[in-house]
Amino acid sequence: MVRKWAGRAVLLYILFVAVMYWYIFYGADTSIPQALRGTAADPATFLNARELKLSEEYSGLRNFLFFVSTPYEWLLYFFVLLFGFSKAFEKSALGTSKWKVIQTGIYLFWLSLVSYLALFPISFIGYRMSKSYHISTQNFTSWMKDEVIDFWVNFGMMFIIVSVLYWLMKKSVKKWWLYAWLLSIPFSLFLMFLQPVLIDPLYNEFYPLKNKELETEILALAAQAEIPAEHVYEVNMAEKTNALNAYVTGIGSNSRIVLWDTILNKLEEDEILFIMAHEMAHYVEKHIYIGIAGYLGMTLVGLWLTSKIMNYFIRRWGHMLKIHSVDSISSLPLFLLITAVLLFASSPLSNYVSRYQETRADRYAIEMTGDKESAITTFQELTRAGLSQVNPPLLVKWLRYSHPTMLERISTVENDDTKDY
């Protein structure tokens, strides 16, 4: 029976990968609409032939890798259950200590280690691919350092979450999902508060913006937007990537305006001010808090569905999966599998909301700066630096794009008839 289910899972995975390969490289239409050819949104007007070729290649490979890795992770959790690895991890933990918290830590360490090793080849392929297309500038030692930090940060976070989650399951088999959701509210806010000052500096060095004239102009925009910022930070990303980014992070007194140094190296001042105005728009329009509310709402629904699905699976296939009850720590891979699938299924909705917010932020930035030309050249440079596909396949857009496509962003600005922002 185990071999039969394993064979079916592998066959289904191979079929999915084959379909996505055909769709991304042959089936999807990524051509520029006739009405937009020759406009500022047409990549042929701002990328040379080599850049055009590389952007199509790199985007296609990156999208395909996403559709390979996502169900591969689901397959991993399924096999950990099906072949009894989860049960073995549980026995190892139970035999090592009588303390529940230590048992949880030991089990989670083995599961995290196996998951990391199984997923490492895909992560390495992604790293090598970005290096070969000159997106990443990071050497292997630095990349591995970030990987190790990732492992332990994720382990620490999961240890806290899993310890509390399975304690709640022990206390209330029927209502654990509700209590878990209630506790997730202060925990999520606490993490957002700590992220800029505790977690982010583990990966990169942050320091006040060196260009004080530019900082003054950015802070003037922040004051106009009524953002209580006293400093603008830059982060040394040039040693890791050629991509461009900026963001406003944190909540409350830990809010920060952050610029990657790659932006400072590659963009003109007017383009930088447009990007900062865009990021400030998220603060002004309360997108951070709307995002938190949306996340908490989806978490509530997700935990409720996970509870129902876990109970059903254990009742019907618990013996095959070696799980005797929901509150057994060996059920964790099932929990992770279900939540990963639900997150993937909900991504079209969350991405749609995010794209709407990004469109609003673009509009706000143009109104604040009064500079449509800088908006267009910024989008064009972002495309060039990241070798982004201007018009990606529709399915890729639904499942991956939290921002509007560059075709949409540039054409929206170019076709806006408003004369005076």
Could you please report the per-residue DSSP string of 288-340? HHHHHHHHHHHHHHHHHHHHHHHHHHHHHHHHHHT---TTSGGGHHHHHHHHH
In a domain, 156, yes or no: yes
pTM surpassing 0.85? Answer: yes
Kindly indicate the confidence band of residue 247, based on its pLDDT and cuts at 50, 70 and 90.
confident
In a domain, 54, yes or no: yes
In a domain, 110, yes or no: yes
The overall average pLDDT reported for the chain is: 91
pLDDT for 193 equals: 80
Kindly indicate the confidence band of residue 421, based on its pLDDT and cuts at 50, 70 and 90.
very low
Q: Evaluate if residue 420 carries a pLDDT over 60.
A: no
Active-site residue, selected from the candidate residues 215, 234, 271, 279: 279
Q: What is the DSSP string of 378-418?
A: HHHHHHHHHT--SS--HHHHHHH-SS--HHHHHHHHHH---
In a domain, 225, yes or no: no
pLDDT for 233 equals: 87
pLDDT for 18 equals: 97
Distance CA 275, CA 259 (A): 9
In a domain, 122, yes or no: yes
Check: CB of residue 52 under 8 Å from CB of residue 44. yes
In a domain, 252, yes or no: no
| Polymer length in residues for the chain | 421
Kindly indicate the confidence band of residue 240, based on its pLDDT and cuts at 50, 70 and 90.
very high
The whole domain housing 78 covers 2-202+287-415
**279 carries an active-site annotation:** yes
Distance CA 53, CA 56 (A): 5
Check: CB of residue 307 under 8 Å from CB of residue 175. no
Number of domains into which the chain is organized = 1
Check: CB of residue 406 under 8 Å from CB of residue 379. yes
For 282-304, write each residue's pLDDT tens digit: 888 888 889 889 999 999 999 99
Buried (b) or exposed (e) across 324-363, using 16+ Cβ within 10 A?
Answer: eebbbbbbbbbbbbbbbbbeeeebeeebeebbebbebbbb
For 318-377, write each residue's pLDDT tens digit: 999 999 999 999 999 999 999 999 999 999 999 999 999 999 999 999 999 888 999 999
In a domain, 29, yes or no: yes
Percentage, residues of the chain above pLDDT 90: 72
Q: Identify the residue with better confidence: 79 or 248.
A: 79
Segment 271-288 mean pLDDT:
89
Closest CA to 80 of 315, 302, 323, 311: 323
Q: Evaluate if residue 419 carries a pLDDT over 60.
A: no
pLDDT for 206 equals: 87
pLDDT for 223 equals: 84
For 150-185, write each residue's pLDDT tens digit: 999 999 999 999 999 999 999 998 899 999 999 999
pLDDT for 231 equals: 72
pLDDT for 257 equals: 80
Percentage, residues of the chain above pLDDT 70: 97
Cα dist. 405→359, 396, 400, 402 in Å? 10, 11, 11, 9
Distance CA 419, CA 393 (A): 33
For 12-64, write each residue's pLDDT tens digit: 999 999 999 999 999 999 999 999 999 999 999 999 999 999 999 999 999 99
pLDDT for 357 equals: 94
For 71-99, write each residue's pLDDT tens digit: 999 999 999 999 999 999 999 999 888 88
In a domain, 68, yes or no: yes
